[in-house]
Amino acid sequence: MISGSVVIGTSIAYVILLFIVAYISDLRARQGRWKLLRSPLIYTLAISVYATSWTFYGAVGSAARNGLEFLAIYMGPTLVFVGWWFGLRKLVRIGHNQRITSIADFVSSRFGKSERLAILITIIAVIGITPYIALQLKAITTSLRVILATNPNVSIAQTGDDLGLAFAIAAAMALFSVLFGTRNINANEQHHGVVAAIAFEAVVKFVALVAVGLFVVFGIGGGFEATFARAQDVGISLNTPDSFGPRWLTITILSAAAIICLPRQFQTTVVENADENHLKTASWAFPLYLLGMSIFTLPIAIIGLSVLPAGSDPDMFVLALPLANDQNALALFAFIGGFSSATSMIIIASIALSIMISNHIVVPIALRSPNLFGLKEGQGMTRLLLTSRRASIAATLFLGFVYFWLTSGSGALAPIGLISFAGVAQFMPAILAALYWRDATANGALAGLLTGSAIWAYSSFLPSFATSNEQIAQLLLTGPWGIEFLRPQALLGLDSFDPLVQSVFWSLLANTIALVVVSIMGENNAIGRLQATLFVDVFKQNQNGQRGFARSSAPLNDLFAMTRRVLGTERAESLFDSFAPSGQSRLNIEPTPEFITRLEKELAGSIGAASAHVLLGQVVSGDTVTMEEVMQMADETQQILEYSQMLEETTTELRSTTDQLQQANVQLRQLDQQKDEFLSQVSHEVRTPMTAIRSFAEILLTNKDLKPTQRQQFVRTIHDESMRLTGLLEEILDLNALERGEKLWANEPVDPNRALNRAIEVCTPVTDQHQVSVQLGNLAKDVRVIANFDRICQVFINLISNAAKYNDAKNPSVTISSKVDGQHLLVDFIDNGPGISAADTQTIFDKFWRGTRNPDTSQSGSGLGLAISREILGKMDGSLNLITKKNPAGKNEKTGPNKSGACFRVTLPLHTK
């Protein structure tokens, strides 16, 4: 038995010790001796505020009742710290960049600095955390009862005395937290003293629990093995797979969410973080701490169940076991350990909540109606903030007490904690969306939070009052208006699951769906888009990514007055001094947009992003840039970027166009040259008959005494040469038309043999004149080619007359044969003339090329025949080629090395029926 004065005295001494720790830490911080304060160790221990009296006492109770279920509470945080380390780093990075003060600030800041969101989250957090604070009050009250009781084996019933005790404890805690957390108002400045004290408490509770555990296992149980051997006897099953069902999974998920969403966890992990790299240590050290805290949970539960009399409160085994074995000092240490875990939670949670309440509820109201809070012009807001924070802490603890009061007698510690977990888990969808989903909107987050927390309040929070309220108990049984479908713990008839599981399932599902659907339907406003980028792409930006009053300016005096209002004269002066150019007074600060943006960030660190934005907007008025304008500027910038990109593209296009033009120019020059050559050749071709005509005309004019036969011959020559000129002109025009690509005729099925006969017939005068025999070889029968009859005749005539005109063989002949080759008809014209010399095979199709003329004849072509024929065949998808043959088929006669004859092959597409 321990006397009350010893317990109270120890507790007070412990609290004084905490104050000393905090004081020394603050002192060191002011002196700039950061080494220990900003160490990863302190950071990790501060995060260990997660282990509250629920862990200290309640986990044993949970293990005694539900076996291994308690492990899930440690599973979630471990998974997050080990497996989602990069996610935490993103949170911390954003926290630093945006000067985030709380989880409400974080979410509202991400979603366009929405005040409504900040308020909603603050309210949800307050309601959600209330059971948790009540849990601490209950733990301290009960533990105090146990340690003071004359007979520790008697279960403590809730009595009126307990309420008084709880109220006294709540009041003491409020005082304690106020003294700790609001000695100054620098919410944004990390609470070095508090954090150091919390870290100290983390060590105390750890050592206390391990001490009790060691005593229980080795002092009573006779070692781990012997201890676990008793498990079966006391009804704790270690091997049943039932432990790891939906409830286990749900609790794991809840605790994983809680390690981020609980305001106090957000405070220690994100807000109080001094260095991103500390997370690296915390990612293994924190899970290790939890492991240490949980290692004795099961042994204590087993020994407690087997040693202590039936009916003992398992939540108090940690305390009862040393007491039952007359280990009063150990019991007192264990009490202090439990006290530590409860106080650290209450302090940090109430500070975190008070920051949220004052920044997101009190300050916005004060900014809108200064008279309400007696704010006078020029008066600092410091006092208001300080007062509101203190009041918030008191209110938070009072709410916790009220919850404790209303739910009095509602059994164990753990379920109360889980209600809080489920409540704050509603922040999770919004936080994940904030980090990873650019298109998530403020309205989406608002809808999700409202829906999820409403379902949580109905299905989790409300039922916790059932023990003290008859109507609520009735509601749980029959549902509202007797609609069983809507029973809080079996929504939509989902009663096969644990009430916690179904509540979490429905609330998070509805939360997520509302968030996604509303986000998709709506669109982010300007500032929302800006913030979304700053959050989602935080690792892609430099530190000064934030843009606010981009074009603004304001009188320095006004800015200073406003800052003094918020921070107080002393801090405002030192802040402005730090902004001033080195070696100059703060009066020389240029109120540039960059400065105003920095100032906004600093103020956001004190009163939250949304309030700071509104406040600065008032001062910078007159030249304030609305977010729409900022966005417009951003759009303009974007447009300029696009424009320059376009210019670049245009330049590239121009370059390629230039290249194309140069190519075209080269081609044109070649064409021009070809045209010159063509003209020159045409002129030559024209001059030749013209020369003859002129010459003979002159002869006829000047020689009157010509013989009639001579005169006749000369006149005939003039006539022939005139005809030649005409023919030449026609062929030039014909070739020109063909080359221009004009569609001069329609292709149709043509009988090639009929065209051939026609050509031979037309050529008869020429072939007769040259005494060339035209022989028909094998001809393909019954075929049709796609061609034009007149034009194909023209080609054939040209080839036959060429073969006749330039054939100097003794017995000149031309042999024509045709055969089908695939989809084409091949028509060969083989003569026994001089053939084409190798040098000429490339040029015979050129314009004005002419073979050696038979000197006996006055017949001569224009030199365009083959060029025209080739063009014609090209228009029929056919071709004209010179087939190189040393010795023409069927001809043995060889009149010389060059007298191997020529073979022209016409290829025409077959008409397939």
Partner 1 sequence: MKPDVLIVEDEPAILTSLEFILHHAGWATACVTDGEAAMQYIQLTRPRAVVLDLMLPKKNGFEVLKALRADPRTHDLPILILTAKGQQQDKLTAMELGASGFITKPYANSDVVDAVNELIGTPPLSKKTNIELS
Q: Where on the chain is the footprint of partner 1 (CB under 8 A)? A: 680, 683-684, 687-696, 698-699, 702-703, 705, 714, 717, 720-721, 852-853, 855, 857-858, 860
CB of 837 to partner 1, least distance (A): 11
Written in H, E and C, the secondary structure of 139-202 is HHHHHHHHHHCCCCCCCCCCCHHHHHHHHHHHHHHHHHHHHHHCCCCCCCCCCHHHHHHHHHHH
Q: DSSP for 702-748, please give it.
A: H-TT--HHHHHHHHHHHHHHHHHHHHHHHHHHHHHHHHHT---S--E
CB of 699 to partner 1, least distance (A): 6
CB of 652 to partner 1, least distance (A): 44
CB of 901 to partner 1, least distance (A): 19
How far is it, in rounded angstroms, from Cα 157 to Cα 313?
10
- Residue found by looking up tokens 């599981």 in the block: 501
How far is it, in rounded angstroms, from Cα 834 to Cα 809?
7
Instruction: Report the candidate in 527, 555, 550, 526 with the shortest Cα–Cα distance to residue 622.
Output: 555
Nearer to partner 1, 700 or 762 (CB): 700
Nearer to partner 1, 694 or 754 (CB): 694
Q: Where are the beta strands (DSSP E) in 178-304?
A: none
CB of 869 to partner 1, least distance (A): 22
Q: Which helix (H) or strand (E) holds 820?
A: strand 813-821
Backbone φ, ψ for residue 274 (5° rounding) = -100, -25
Dig out the tokens for 189 from the structure.
Answer: 């400045």
CB of 803 to partner 1, least distance (A): 18
How far is it, in rounded angstroms, from Cα 43 to Cα 193?
12
Distances (CA, A) of 713 to 350, 461, 667, 708, 718: 131, 130, 48, 8, 9
Nearer to partner 1, 438 or 694 (CB): 694
How far is it, in rounded angstroms, from Cα 798 to Cα 766?
11
CB of 842 to partner 1, least distance (A): 18
Nearer to partner 1, 338 or 689 (CB): 689
Nearer to partner 1, 203 or 699 (CB): 699
Residue 480 identity (one-letter amino acid): P
CB of 850 to partner 1, least distance (A): 9
Nearer to partner 1, 439 or 720 (CB): 720
Strands 748-750 vs 785-787: parallel, antiparallel or unpaired: antiparallel
CB of 895 to partner 1, least distance (A): 17
Nearer to partner 1, 240 or 683 (CB): 683
Nearer to partner 1, 669 or 716 (CB): 716
CB of 752 to partner 1, least distance (A): 34
Residue 657 identity (one-letter amino acid): T
Residue 339 identity (one-letter amino acid): F
Look at residue 907 and give its three-state secondary structure.
strand
Q: Which helix (H) or strand (E) holds 678?
A: helix 627-702
Q: Taking a C-beta distance cutoff of 8 angstroms, is the pair 367, 615 a contact?
A: yes
CB of 855 to partner 1, least distance (A): 5
Instruction: Report the candidate in 181, 96, 80 with the shortest Cα–Cα distance to residue 425.
Output: 80
Look at residue 409 and give its three-state secondary structure.
coil
| Distance from the first to the final alpha carbon of the chain | 118
How far is it, in rounded angstroms, from Cα 491 to Cα 505?
10
Nearer to partner 1, 70 or 714 (CB): 714
CB of 688 to partner 1, least distance (A): 5
- Residue found by looking up tokens 């292709």 in the block: 747
Q: Taking a C-beta distance cutoff of 8 angstroms, is the pair 143, 319 a contact?
A: yes
Instruction: Report the candidate in 817, 865, 816, 830 with the shortest Cα–Cα distance to residue 844.
Output: 865
CB of 678 to partner 1, least distance (A): 13
Q: Taking a C-beta distance cutoff of 8 angstroms, is the pair 591, 576 a contact?
A: no
Nearer to partner 1, 721 or 871 (CB): 721
Q: Taking a C-beta distance cutoff of 8 angstroms, is the pair 507, 421 a contact?
A: no
Nearer to partner 1, 313 or 721 (CB): 721
- Residue found by looking up tokens 């007055």 in the block: 561
Dig out the tokens for 245 from the structure.
Answer: 């069902």
How far is it, in rounded angstroms, from Cα 835 to Cα 885?
9
Four-CA torsion 314, 315, 321, 327, nearest 10 degrees? -160
Nearer to partner 1, 662 or 858 (CB): 858
CB of 760 to partner 1, least distance (A): 27
Look at residue 879 and give its three-state secondary structure.
strand
Nearer to partner 1, 683 or 775 (CB): 683
Nearer to partner 1, 605 or 689 (CB): 689
Residue 756 identity (one-letter amino acid): L
Nearer to partner 1, 153 or 895 (CB): 895
Sign of the Cα pseudo-torsion (187, 193, 196, 198, in order): negative
Nearer to partner 1, 644 or 852 (CB): 852
Q: Taking a C-beta distance cutoff of 8 angstroms, is the pair 132, 416 a contact?
A: yes
- Residue found by looking up tokens 């009781």 in the block: 149
Dig out the tokens for 235 from the structure.
Answer: 């009804």
Nearer to partner 1, 79 or 690 (CB): 690
Nearer to partner 1, 207 or 690 (CB): 690
Four-CA torsion 440, 442, 447, 452, nearest 10 degrees? 80
Dig out the tokens for 182 from the structure.
Answer: 């609001």
